[in-house]
Amino acid sequence: MDSLDLKISNPAKQISQPIEMKNNYSAAEKSKLAKASVDFESMLTKMMLKSMSETTGGMFGEEGLGGDIFEGIFQDEISKFIGEEQSLGVASKIFKSLTGEELDLNSLKNLERPNEFQRKAPQVNYNLKNVNGIAPSSSALSRLSNYEEIIDKYSNQFGVDKKIIKSVILAESSAKNNSISKAKAKGLMQLIDSTANEMNVRNVFNPDENIKGGTKYLSQMLEKFDGNLSKALAAYNAGPGAVQKYNGIPPYNETQNYVKKINSYIKYFEENE
């Protein structure tokens, strides 16, 4: 049977009956529709990149060793990046046509693309019985209140108690966004350049990026030390290697005082929430 080519000058006319828009989707259904819309846009982006790459012979050359493999990896990663950071608008249009609502991409990132630590966040072992009551200053607490929404977002994403995040911010920078230490640690959670790079933080003075990077690193330390909060905090301050070397909080005055201060702040939030 010969193939039949159809020339469609106006695609809208080919639909005899318009798609009926459903307005009573549940929250779970909307979440699935949102993810499907974003995944479709990512797939479409990948197809576009593949077509462009084939036209130019590929980024790694037509005869490069393993070029086809690296090309595929590159296309996957760049299509994900475009979809997450700078949407083409396709996903939003699909979602709106189905639900009649605008697509909130930021919300989708947090709810539908959970980080691995959110799925297996360890149970944190608190030991606050003998903690001295060192309270944060009122001015620091006032500054901290500006970041409540960001803290809540990444507390949920990475499975780290927001009391811990708040306490680290207060101990590290007194909630001063532009703080820089003598060791060149920067921002609210005092990220050094190597840690910021590892956590994919591009602008350490952007509160959202800084808190995301610091919280992600905290979640990794909690995971590494089986939920032992004191060890995780010590690792955040002195590095995980020092904690492993001494099998606990290293005998450094700065680190020991750091852990005590944060535990005191956590106790403060427990008693005042």
Q: What is the DSSP string of 77-128?
A: HHHHHHHHHS--SHHHHHHHHHHSS---HHHHHHHHS--HHHHSPPPPB---
Give the contacts of 196 (CB within 8 A, at least 6 positions apart). 186, 204, 213
Region 83-90 average pLDDT: 58
139 plus 252 within the same structural domain: yes
Region 236-259 average pLDDT: 94
* Structural domain contains residue 64: yes
80 plus 100 within the same structural domain: yes
pLDDT at residue 67 in the model:
47
* Structural domain contains residue 37: yes
pLDDT at residue 198 in the model:
94
- Least confident span in 2-6, 100-104, 158-162, 247-251: 2-6
172 plus 258 within the same structural domain: yes
166 plus 38 within the same structural domain: no
63 plus 162 within the same structural domain: no
Phi/psi region, residue 135 (left: phi>0; alpha: psi -120 to 50; beta: rest), is beta
Last residue of a domain, one of 71, 95, 112: 112
* Residue 224 confidence (pLDDT) above 60: yes
Region 185-211 average pLDDT: 95
* Structural domain contains residue 2: no
CATH classification at residue 156: 1.10.530.10
* Structural domain contains residue 1: no
Phi, psi of 191 (to 5 degrees): -85, 130
* Structural domain contains residue 3: no
**If DSSP codes are grouped into helix, strand and coil, which group holds residue 155?**
helix
pLDDT at residue 49 in the model:
65
| Domain extent for 83 | 20-112
pLDDT at residue 134 in the model:
78
* Residue 14 confidence (pLDDT) above 70: no
Give the contacts of 167 (CB within 8 A, at least 6 positions apart). 262, 263, 265, 266, 269
* Structural domain contains residue 62: yes
* Residue 155 confidence (pLDDT) above 60: yes
53 plus 142 within the same structural domain: no
Last residue of a domain, one of 79, 112, 145: 112
pLDDT band at 191 (very low <50, low <70, confident <90, very high): very high
More confident residue, 66 or 189: 189
How many whole angstroms separate alpha carbon 60 and alpha carbon 72? 11
* Residue 126 confidence (pLDDT) above 60: no
* Residue 241 confidence (pLDDT) above 90: yes
143 plus 262 within the same structural domain: yes
* Residue 15 confidence (pLDDT) above 50: no
* Structural domain contains residue 52: yes
Please list the active-site residues: 172
134-153, pLDDT tens digit by residue? Answer: 788 999 999 999 999 999 99
Region 247-272 average pLDDT: 92
pLDDT at residue 46 in the model:
65
133 plus 260 within the same structural domain: yes
69 plus 190 within the same structural domain: no
pLDDT at residue 97 in the model:
78
Last residue of a domain, one of 112, 128, 144: 112
Nearest residue to 133 via CA among 255, 231, 233, 271: 271
* Structural domain contains residue 12: no
122 plus 67 within the same structural domain: no
pLDDT band at 273 (very low <50, low <70, confident <90, very high): confident
- 71 HSE (CA, 13 A, CB side): 20
Percentage of the chain modeled with pLDDT above 90: 47
* Residue 74 confidence (pLDDT) above 90: no
- What's the structural domain count of the chain? 2
pLDDT at residue 102 in the model:
75
139 plus 236 within the same structural domain: yes
104 plus 123 within the same structural domain: no
pLDDT at residue 110 in the model:
46
Give me the chain's average pLDDT, please: 76
Region 154-166 average pLDDT: 95
